[in-house]
Structure 1
Amino acid sequence: MPSIRHEIPLQLLRNRAEVAPRIATMLGLPVPDLPCWRPGPETVTLLSPGELHLDIVVVGSRADKPEYAIIHEVQNSCTGDELDRIAFSWPAYITHVRQRLHCPVVLLAFCPDERSATKIATPIDTGHPGFVFSPRTYWPGVLPAVTTVAEADQWPELALLSAPGHLGESERHDVLAMALEAMQHLEPDKRVLYHDYISTCVPKRYRKEWEELVSMAIENYHWESYFAHEHQAIGRAEGHAKGHAEGRVDMIKESILRILERRGIVVDAAVTARVTGCSDLEQLTQWQDLALEVDTAAQFLESAADVSG
């Protein structure tokens, strides 16, 4: 099952086709200035039976004629098996999209950190003389930090994509605040997912700071009804104001259950009862971290019991 850290970057790219060429330009690629960018074919049919399933393709065109294509992959793993898969599939992506569209094609891979980006960028020798494919990889820290409202309003997708790479002491607060600002310009029905995405990307030691920023933002901003409903745990359950402390406890309870659900873990009655029956803020904060790490409901309950002592 695709993880939230795989699907949300793709959603941000699908949300606005112009983000892909902007990123490519930031990475130093000679992207032409074209009037139209649109989503392209994400499945390429081979000559023999079978298909290649790409993450996303963005096509730049002039007068309906493709002139440049950007394949965008999200690659969170750099295990040996994944590198073997990449070695055979990514060169094929390039050649088949190029044959289909008759234009130059580049492949960019969004990675979670610098180590993964470096490893995945290892040149691939296809075996044909002179045909060595070098993936162009990047990670959030390569993208410029978004620290102003003007930047977050103009390029909200980049604010979210870059945020996990800029969490140093000097810029973390502004970067996380601008991630929240950016969410106001994205689809209301997906803001919960964007919140969960940032929560999974932020290291444990900064997660409380992120949740406090979210809590303050909810208290001081009139959010659309759908988003407010989805964030009942942030102090606006059923539209009734709650105290800050009580709202934060409810926020974390809801966040724990939502994180488990978004990760594909079945939230049964036992898990729900355990989470909703707790009112200890410190305990719930530890369980929130567990929700990001466990693989099953049973494992969550067992680990929660260990943490509770």
Structure 2
Amino acid sequence: MPSANHELPIALFRDQPALAPEILQAVSGIKPPEYEHISLGSECFNDDNPTEYRADSTVLLGDPKRPELAIIVENQLRPDRRKRFSWPVYLSTLRARRECPVTLLALCPNETTSAWCREPIEMGHEGWVLRPWVLNLAEAPAVIDVDKARALPELAILGTPAHADGPHRKAVLTAFAEALEVTDRDRGERYHDYVRSQLSEAARHCLEEIMQADVYEWQSDFARKHIAEGEARGRAEGEAKGKAEGEAELLLIVLEGHGFTVDDELRRRITACTDLQQIQIWARRVGTARTLDEIFA
């Protein structure tokens, strides 16, 4: 079964086909033709041979019956020698079927796979060489403009994991939150779960602060659910911290009652501990211990 790391980036292109020409221009520098319509095409490129050839996604620019350009999008997680043979089939079959120019855009998770995908595929006929356009997802475009995030949410989703720990962390995560605000609940949940799984602890904390801030009045059901969950976590963490502080103070009193001298360093260790279970372990040792080392070993 395909993994979420494979399926979610492709889902972004299926959910929003306009992401394909945007990324194609970013990685190739070639401006796609102007178009009034954009649509998804079939990912299946079967011929009379029983072998099935299926791409991850196909985007058609212009009239679906007579498109001006077809973009095949592949999410390639690792090198695969078979793609050297199947990718040309995808392009030639789609070109014959739609009678239009075609191009290949490969998404990769790292530089090793990106370098492999960029290698030209020699077809054997002089001058016939396939050079895939490649986006290393670690270098996906950063979206820091909230208007752009709302206009093309999937672009913000695609770039957030790569830039969430960069110099524009707060702007990137704010744009991500704004992108979620204009997506429907089901897609918002999928996008959030995927991006959150890629974020560092610091980035997740920053995202929660943005969602909890009073600066924005989030309207979507998804955002409100996220805020409610964050507030519930905050209350639970606050209650746990308060209980640990109370137990720590009680432990200090018990230690002094048993004749132990608590210096400043040990006092700081006890009061800084937020693990309620650990404090209770120390407290149970007090009754039988003869030295502090026996309690805090």
Q: Distance in 2 between matches of 1:62 and 1:247?
A: 60
Which whole-Å CA distance do the structure 2 matches of 1:183 and 1:63 have between them? 29
SS of equivalent to 2:45: strand
Question: 1:7 corresponds to which residue?
Answer: 7
State the AA in 2 paired with 1:65. Answer: R
Task: Say if 1:102 and 1:176 are closer, same or farther in 2 by CA, change over 3 A.
Answer: same
Report the equivalent of 1:22: 22
Q: Distance in 1 between matches of 2:224 and 2:36?
A: 37
Alignment check: 8 A CA contact 2:59 2:71 kept = yes
SS in 2 for 1:21: helix
Q: Tell whether 2:134 aligns with 1:145.
A: no
TM-score (norm 1): 0.68
C-alpha displacement at 1:97, in angstroms? Answer: 0.6
Task: Give yes or no for the alignment of 1:59 onto 2:68.
Answer: no
Q: Within 5 Å, give how 1:88-103 maps onto structure 2.
A: 88-103=85-100
Identity %: 31
Is 2:181 the partner of 1:187? no
Secondary structure of 1:103 counterpart:
coil
CA distance in 1, matches of 2:228, 2:52: 43
Instruction: Flag the 1:33–1:142 CA change in 2: closer, same or farther, 3 A.
Output: farther
In structure 1, distance between residues paired with 2:205 and 2:87: 38
Q: Distance in 2 between matches of 1:47 and 1:127?
A: 23
Instruction: Structure 2: state its 5+ residue gaps.
Output: 242-273, 277-297
2: CA distance, partners of 1:77 / 1:247? 46
Indicate if the aligned counterparts of 1:117 and 1:138 stay in contact, CA closer than 8 A.
yes
Amino acid at match of 2:24: A
Per-residue displacement from partner, 1:254-279 (whole Å, max 9, x unpaired)?
xxxxxxxxxxxxxxxxxxxxxxxxx9
Per the alignment, do residues 175 and 219 of structure 1 end up closer, same or farther by CA in structure 2, a change over 3 Å counting? closer
Whichever residue aligns with residue 17 of structure 2, its letter is: A
Match of 2:288 in 1: none
Q: What amino acid does structure 1 have at the position aligned with 2:207?
A: L
1:229-261: CA deviations, max 9, x gaps?
588743459xxxx62736999xxxxxxxxxxxx
8 A Cα contact 1:189 1:227, kept in partner = no
Q: Which stretch shifts more, 173-182 or 51-60?
A: 173-182
Distance across 2 between alignment mates of 1:128 and 1:231: 59
Once residues 275 and 202 of structure 2 are traced to their aligned partners in structure 1, the CA distance between those partners, rounded to angstroms, is 15
Q: 1:247 to 1:165 in 2, by over 3 A?
A: farther
Contact 1:235 / 1:248 at 8 angstroms: preserved in 2? Answer: no
1:214 aligned onto 2:215: no
Match of 1:170 among 167, 187, 190: 167
1:105 aligns with 2:102: yes
Amino acid at match of 1:217: M
Corresponding position: 1:86 with 2:86: no
1:73 maps to what in 2? 74
Q: TM-score, normalised by structure 2?
A: 0.71
- Distance (whole Å) between structure 1 residues aligned to residue 197 and residue 239 of structure 2: 21
Matches of 2:38 and 2:102, distance apart in 1: 14
Cα 1:247/1:68, change in 2 over 3 Å:
farther
Structure 1 or 2, whichever has the larger Rg, is 2
Q: Distance in 1 between matches of 2:102 and 2:5?
A: 25
The residue aligned with 1:234 is 230
The count of residues paired between Structure 1 and Structure 2 equals 241
Describe the shift of the 1:107–1:246 C-alpha distance in structure 2 as closer, same or farther (beyond 3 A): farther
**What is the alpha-carbon distance in structure 2 between the residues aligned to residue 166 and residue 180 of structure 1?**
14
Question: How far does residue 199 in structure 1 lie from its aligned partner after superposition?
Answer: 2.2
For 1:243, the aligned partner's letter is R
Amino acid aligned to 2:86: S
How do 1:277-288 and structure 2 match up within 5 A? none
Secondary structure, aligned partner of 1:118: helix
User: For residues 225 and 174 of structure 1, what CA distance do their matches in structure 2 show?
Assistant: 22
Aligned equivalents of 2:133, 2:175: Cα separation in 1: 27
The 1:116–1:63 alpha-carbon spacing in structure 2 relative to 1, beyond 3 Å, is closer
Q: Is the 8 A contact 2:60 2:70 kept in 1?
A: yes
For 1:183, what is the secondary structure of its paired residue? helix
Deviates more, 1:88-97 or 1:166-175: 166-175
Q: How big is each residue's C-alpha offset from its partner over 1:52-94, in whole Å with a ceiling of 9 and x where there is no partner?
A: 111110111248422210001111223xxx2x12111111111
Instruction: Write the letter of the residue equivalent to 1:154.
Output: A
Q: How far did residue 209 of structure 1 move?
A: 2.8
Letter of the structure 2 residue corresponding to residue 213 of structure 1: L
Shift in alpha-carbon separation, 1:41–1:171, aligned structure 2, 3 A = same
Which runs of 5 or more structure 1 residues have no equivalent in the other structure?
250-278, 282-309
